[in-house]
């Protein structure tokens, strides 16, 4: 599947970015979304189910099915974030990556499981 990540709505990385954009969440109180939040929304998850959630595993199963590529079952049988979701979160939150490096790594991670990411638009004022 092809996903579009809107830079104008993207929250990432902590540090000074967190002070400008708010916490890195699927959808934070300022209306910004991490890359996984934007992916979930494009897969039909509504904003209310994403609001103030830290990771996909906290989204209700009625909004994000267990077989979604961002989720997996752990050995105890509980739904948790997939390995690729964890890698994407770590990349998105890496304050040592440049914006370009972050995008390139996220594109490669999604491609490694058969999905395409395209980044569009401009980052919010004060981010660059």
Along the 128 residues of the chain, how does pLDDT read in single tens digits? 999 999 999 998 765 666 678 888 999 999 999 999 999 999 999 999 999 999 999 998 889 887 899 999 999 999 999 999 999 999 999 988 889 999 999 999 999 999 999 999 998 777 76
Domain count, the chain: 1
CA 45 to chain centre: 13
Q: Which domain holds residue 76?
A: 2-60+67-120
Q: pLDDT value at position 32?
A: 94
Tell me, yes or no, whether 127 lies in a domain: no
Q: Which residues pair with 3 in a beta bridge?
A: 117
- What CA dihedral angle connects 95, 101, 107 and 110, to 10 degrees? -40
Say what the pLDDT of residue 16 is.
63
Residue 71 included in any domain? yes
Residue 126 forms part of a structural domain: no
In a domain, 128, yes or no: no
Is the CB of residue 81 less than 8 Å from the CB of residue 98? no
Inside any domain, residue 88 = yes
Give a yes or no: residue 83 inside a domain.
yes
pLDDT at 128: 66
**Within-domain flag for 85:** yes
State how far the Cα of 73 lies from the Cα of 75, in Å rounded to an integer: 7
What pLDDT score was predicted for residue 72? Answer: 93
Residue with tokens 């979604």: 68
Tell me what pLDDT residue 61 has: 80
Determine the pLDDT at residue 38. Answer: 97
Q: What is the pLDDT of residue 126?
A: 74
Residue 102 falls inside a structural domain: yes
């Amino acid at each position: 599947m092809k996903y579009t990540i809107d830079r104008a709505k993207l929250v990432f990385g902590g540090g000074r970015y967190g002070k400008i954009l708010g916490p890195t969440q699927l959808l934070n109180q300022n209306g910004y979304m991490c890359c996984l939040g934007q992916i979930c929304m494009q897969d039909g998850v509504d904003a209310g189910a994403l609001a103030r959630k830290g990771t996909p595993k906290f989204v209700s199963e009625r909004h994000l099915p267990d077989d979604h590529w961002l989720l997996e079952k752990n050995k105890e049988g509980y739904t948790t974030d997939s390995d690729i979701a964890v890698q994407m979160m770590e990349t998105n939150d890496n304050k040592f990556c440049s914006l370009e490096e972050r995008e390139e790594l996220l594109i490669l991670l999604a491609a490694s499981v058969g999905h395409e990411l395209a980044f569009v638009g401009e980052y919010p004022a004060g981010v660059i």
